[in-house]
Structure 1
Amino acid sequence: MTVPEITPEERAELDKALYDALNPLASAIRSRETGLPAARVWDASPVEVTLSVLAAWKVVDGEVKRLTERAAATAGSYGASYEQLGAVWGITRQGARKKWPDAVSRPAPGPADKSTLALFGGTAELMRSLSGGWGWTGRGADGASGTGVDGAPYVTAEEAAAHAGVFLKEHALDTGEQPRS
């Protein structure tokens, strides 16, 4: 999805709607700051008046950011990825993750996040941890039990499988066979 463009007509309508929404807010801010009644809040120097308008735009900007975060979180709750959020916003996947860190939740480990490895007469179970890394536990053919080093997760399932395979090879039963030359 590309970043949407709007037509000049749509921009004019948007500008009008924003100014119509901004004027009451700017008047309320100006009235609170000056203590003047609503009928006289714009009786001031042009600098003071325009600064009141700028202050109102700052409030609107904060509200737009809050509503944008809510929209990103809602999209994420329906399954949108950071890649999709970034594409809509015109930024990278990493930029979207940084901008809305809690918008997309990681799925809980499921059945596809476990597998069994059988080598050298032993077995090892590979599993994804809640942190997203991989670990393993195994029992060698000689009955020895083992697990990944200090429970530290490996980055990929393949890396965990390689370490589990080394463990299983080290705990294979000695069949008395000599290596072939």
Structure 2
Amino acid sequence: MTVPEITPEEQAELDKALYDALNPLASALRSRETGAPANRMWDASPVEVALSVLAAWKVVDGEVKRLTERAAATAGSYGASYEQLGTVWGITRQGARKKWPDAVSRPAPATAGKSTLALFGGTAELVQSPSGAWDWTGRGADGVSRTDVEGAPYVTAEEAAAHAGAFLKEHALAIDEQP
């Protein structure tokens, strides 16, 4: 995707829409600052009027930045890369990452989200799903295996480990059964 260009007609329509949205804001800001009625804003000196318009543009600029961040985050949540965001914005991939650092989520490293628990002669593997939830699969010392499909996914690795540990304890060999 390339940086979009607009036609002169579209530019004129955009300018009109922006000025139409800006004028009431500039009048309201000027009125609050001076105490004068909003409909009398244009009766002030040209410098004061121009500064009121500039102050209104600053507010609009802040809102455009906020909405731009939201649009970048939305695109990132649907799978857009920093390279794509940068292309649309006319900047590099690195520039997009700097501009919107949280827009694109990075996948967790392959080793993250897995661990093994060894207790009571058995083992359990704790696994984190892409959604972030944790589950476990275990094999007790008595040979009984279980995948924890009956329980809801666990919020933390510690919670999954506690349930896996209880399973391993329940399926430990009795002292007289141990080799």
* TM-score (norm. length: structure 2): 0.60
Q: Which amino acid aligns with 2:103?
A: A
Give the drift of 1:43: 1.4
Counterpart for residue 77 of structure 1: 77
Counterpart for residue 9 of structure 2: 9
Task: Check whether the contact 1:34–1:41 (CA below 8 A) recurs between aligned residues.
Answer: no
In 1, distance between residues paired with 2:40 and 2:8? 35
Give the drift of 1:42: 2.0
Give the drift of 1:53: 0.4
Q: Which amino acid aligns with 2:86?
A: G
Q: Which amino acid aligns with 2:40?
A: R
In 1, distance between residues paired with 2:27 and 2:101? 36
- Residue pairs, 1:24-173, within 5 angstroms: 24-110=24-110
Counterpart for residue 127 of structure 1: none
In 2, distance between residues paired with 1:82 and 1:40? 47
Equivalences, count? 113
Q: How big is each residue's C-alpha offset from its partner over 1:112-131, in whole Å with a ceiling of 9 and x where there is no partner? A: x99xxxxxxxxxxxxxxxxx
Q: Which amino acid aligns with 1:37?
A: P
In 1, distance between residues paired with 2:47 and 2:109? 59
In 1, distance between residues paired with 2:20 and 2:12? 12
Give the drift of 1:37: 1.4
Q: Which amino acid aligns with 2:33?
A: E
In 1, distance between residues paired with 2:39 and 2:92? 48
Q: CA RMSD in A?
A: 1.7
Give the drift of 1:110: 4.9
In 2, distance between residues paired with 1:23 and 1:41? 10
List structure 1 segments (4+ residues) > 2 angstroms apart after TM superposition: 108-111
**Identity over the aligned pairs, expressed in percent?**
91
Q: Which amino acid aligns with 1:89?
A: W
In 2, distance between residues paired with 1:58 and 1:38? 19
Structure 1 gaps of 5+ residues are 115-181
Q: How big is each residue's C-alpha offset from its partner over 1:146-166, in whole Å with a ceiling of 9 and x where there is no partner? A: xxxxxxxxxxxxxxxxxxxxx
Q: Which amino acid aligns with 2:54?
A: L
Task: Check whether the contact 2:31–2:37 (CA below 8 A) recurs between aligned residues.
Answer: yes
Q: Which amino acid aligns with 2:42?
A: W
Give the drift of 1:109: 4.0
* TM-score (norm. length: structure 1): 0.60
3-state SS of 1:104 partner: coil
In 2, distance between residues paired with 1:39 and 1:3? 40
Q: How big is each residue's C-alpha offset from its partner over 1:8-60, in whole Å with a ceiling of 9 and x where there is no partner? A: 00000000000000000000000001100123222110000011001000100
In 2, distance between residues paired with 1:63 and 1:49? 21
